[in-house]
Amino acid sequence: MNKQNSDDIEQLEQRIKNLEKKLTRKNIKKPDELKNLALDFIAMLLIAAFLGYFIDKSFDTAPIFLLISILFGFISGVWQIIQKIK
């Protein structure tokens, strides 16, 4: 019975090692993907903010278009993140 227990433990350890290898292989791309998602989100916000600012400046309006465009930039950034995660 002791031999069987040690074999079971060895099999369990091997399964754990295999799972750890699989998990580390999958996570290699994660930092790059997360960085790209963050950069895309920030880019959407900045582009929307500049666009809203210049529209406000052109039509001499208060920060109405700036706020609206930032809201649309935020929504489109979140939408883009959701699409890339799926």
Q: Secondary structure of 2-31 in the HEC alphabet?
A: HHHHHHHHHHHHHHHHHHHHHHHHHHCCHH
pLDDT, tens digit (0-9, with 9 covering 90-100), for 13-61: 888 888 877 766 555 567 788 888 899 999 999 999 999 999 999 999 9
Higher-confidence residue of 18 and 79: namely 79
CA gap 67, 43 in Å, rounded = 16
Task: Give the per-residue pLDDT at 1.
Answer: 54
List Cβ neighbours of 56 (8 Å cut-off, separation of 6 or more): 62, 63, 64, 65, 66
User: Which range of residues forms the domain containing residue 43?
Assistant: 3-85
Structure-token pair, residue 34: 């997360």
Structural domain count, the chain: 1
Structure confidence at residue 64 (pLDDT):
95
